[in-house]
């Protein structure tokens, strides 16, 4: 399963976000998470924006989402920090789901 976490934060909180992020990034990944990539960009007047692309062990998505939310919780204490978690579907999964839509 692939999960994407998108987060937003005010630019005046960049240093605080960076400090908490690098503390988080220094920890070993839980076993259900195979890979965690992070990207950042400016979000114009809204501040900074981060993308976390997370690949999990097959059939461990629910457990991984719980862990991701626990890992992101310290970031949510930063004023103005918000995040959204989404499950991404590959084209094979999307085609399989389309069979049920006919």
Residue span of the structural domain in which 76 resides: 2-99
33-48 pLDDT, tens digit each: 999 999 999 988 779 9
CATH of residue 79: 3.30.70.100
8-66 pLDDT, tens digit each: 999 999 999 999 999 888 889 889 999 999 999 998 877 999 999 999 988 888 899 99
Give the number of domains in the chain: 1
Q: Is the pLDDT of residue 102 over 60?
A: no
pTM above 0.95? Answer: no
pLDDT the model gives residue 49: 94
| Cα–Cα separations (whole angstroms), residue 39 to 7, 50, 65, 73, 84 | 10, 6, 19, 19, 15
């Amino acid at each position: 399963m692939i999960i994407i976490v998108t987060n937003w934060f005010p630019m005046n909180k960049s240093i605080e976000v960076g400090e908490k992020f690098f503390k988080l990034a220094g920890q070993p990944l839980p076993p259900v998470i195979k890979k965690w990539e992070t990207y950042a960009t400016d979000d114009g007047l809204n501040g900074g924006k981060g993308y976390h692309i997370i690949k999990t062990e097959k059939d461990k998505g629910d457990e991984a989402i719980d862990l991701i939310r626990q890992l992101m919780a310290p970031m949510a204490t930063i004023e103005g920090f918000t995040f959204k978690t989404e499950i991404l579907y590959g084209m094979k999964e999307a085609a399989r789901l389309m069979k049920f839509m006919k």
